[in-house]
Amino acid sequence: MCIIRKTAHEFSYGFPMHCNGIEYKNMKLREIQDILDASLIIGEAHLDREVHTCGASDLMSDILARLAEDCVFLTGLTTVHAVRTAAISGVGAVVFVRNKIPPEDVIAMAKEEEIPLFTSPYSMFVSCGRLHAKGLTGLNGDR
Amino acid sequence: MPDILFEKSFQINKKDFVHAGEASISAKNLLKSLQMDAGMIRRASICAYEGEMNVVMHGGEGHLALAIEKNRIILEISDNGPGIADTEMAMKKGFSTASDKFRELGFGAGMGLPNMKKNADEFELSSRLGEGTRVRMAFFTDAAV
C-alpha cells in the first residue's frame, strides 16, 4: 500500500517518484498523444509541453474546484465552456474522448489561448486507465 | 487606503450562455498583462469565472469589476437579478437551483460559491430578494491556497 498526496505544484518539484514499481513522472503531450492513440486537432507547437497530472470530467466545476494547472484535461464536452474552463484553470491540454471533435469556434478559441486539443478514440474510462497505467496521477496527486 | 493602480469593469449579460465566461477571460488576460502574481491571478480568475457563470444563469444584468492594487486584487461581481432566497443554503456544496440547460454545459453542480469562498482570501456575499446579489472578494499576493 502506498499513498502519496501532493499538490500539482509540489509535483513539479517532486518527480520522478516510485510506487509499486511505477515511476511517476511529468508527461510530454506527445507521449500522451501516443498513449491515447490521439489525433492532434490544434497545437503542434506545444507537443513538448509537460503536464503533471490528469483531470477527467464533463463537469466543469470539478476542474475549477481543483488544482488543474498544467494538467491534461479529459472530457466528452466539446462546448466553448470546456476550453474557457481550461483557459481559466491553466490546463496544459484538452483531450476529447470517443473521437469527439469540437466546432470551429471552439478550436479557434483554443488556438487563441494556446491550449492544444486532441481527440482520442477511447472512452473516458479507457483513456484514464491508459494514462494511469503509465504513471500519471489525479489532480490532487492520488493514485 | 491603499492606492488603486487600475480599475476595470466588464458587462455580464443575462442568459447569454454563448459568451458566458468572456468577461473572466478578459479579466485574466488583463491581470497577466499587469504581471501580477501567477497564483493570485489563477485564484481570482477561477472566482471571476464561477461568479460570471452564476450571473448568466441566475442573475439579471451584471458586472464584473476589478480594482487592482500593488499586492491585492479586489473582485466584485454584482447583478440586478432576483437575489438569493437562502444564502446559507447557497453556500453549501452541492446545493443548486440551476436549470437543465446550464447543467448540459457542465455547470450547476452547486460548487460555484463554495469554490469562490475557498479560493478568495476575503469573501463577502450579500443578496436581497428582488434587488440582486453582490459578491466581493479580495486576493493577496502571499496567500496560500
Selected for mutation to probe chain A from B50, B95, B105, B119 (highest A CB count within 10 Å) is: B105
From the list B20, B48, B112, the residue facing A61 with the nearest CB is B112
Q: How far apart are the first and last CA of chain A?
A: 11
Which position has the higher pLDDT, A143 or A82? A82
- Residue in A57, A82, A87 nearest the CB of B25: A87
CB distance A64–B105 less than 8 Å?
no
Residue B59 confidence (pLDDT)? 84
CATH class of A26-134: alpha beta
Which pLDDT value is given to residue A77? 96
Q: Where are the domains of chain A?
A: 26-134
Q: Do A84 and B25 touch (CB under 8 A)?
A: yes
- Mean pLDDT value of segment B5-26: 93
**Given this model, what pLDDT does residue A19 score?**
55
Average pLDDT over every residue of A56-75: 93
Please state the domain extents for chain B: 4-140
Average pLDDT of chain A, as a whole number? 87
Q: What is the pLDDT of residues A99-143, one digit of tens each?
A: 999 999 999 999 999 999 999 999 999 999 999 999 999 998 888
Interface test with A, best of B32, B41, B107 (most A CBs within 10 A): B107
Which residue does chain B place closest to A83, by CA atoms?
Answer: B21
pLDDT of residue B142: 65
More confident residue, B3 or A75: A75
pLDDT at residue A11, as a whole number: 40
Residue of A81, A82, A88 with shortest CB distance to B45: A88
pLDDT value, residue A141: 85
Percentage of residues in chain A with pLDDT exceeding 90?
A: 75
A29-39 CB burial, b ≥16 within 10 A, e <16: bebbbebbebe
The better pLDDT of the pair A10, B102 is held by B102
pLDDT at A23: 58
Distance between B1 CA and the closest CA of chain A, angstroms:
30
Average pLDDT over residues B64-86: 94
User: How confident is the model at residue B1, as a pLDDT?
Assistant: 57
- Segment among B1-10, B34-43, B69-78 with least mean pLDDT: B1-10
Residue A16: asked if its preceding bond is cis (omega within 30°), the reply is yes
The mean per-residue pLDDT over the stretch B12-34 comes to: 93
Give B112-116 contacts, CB < 8 A, sequence gap 24+: B112/A61, B112/B50, B112/B51, B112/B53, B112/B54, B113/B50, B113/B54, B115/A61, B115/A64, B115/A65, B115/B46, B115/B47, B115/B50, B116/B46, B116/B47, B116/B50, B116/B51
- pLDDT above 70: residue B33: yes
CATH topology of domain B4-140: Heat Shock Protein 90 (3.30.565)
Is pLDDT of B99 > 70?
Answer: yes
A58 interfaces chain B, CB cutoff of 8 Å? yes
Higher-confidence residue of A44 and A19: namely A44
Q: Which of B12, B22, B24, B25 to mutate to test the interface with A (most CBs of A within 10 A)?
A: B25
Task: Say which range, A21-35, A89-103, A124-138, B70-84, has the weakest mean pLDDT.
Answer: A21-35
Given a cut of 90, is residue B10 above it in pLDDT?
yes
Residue located via cell numbers 490521439: A38
Query: Chain A, 76-105: which have a CB under 8 Å from a chain B CB?
Result: 77, 79-82, 84-85, 87-90
For the segment B88-114, the average pLDDT, to the nearest whole number, is: 90
pLDDT score of A31 more than 50: yes
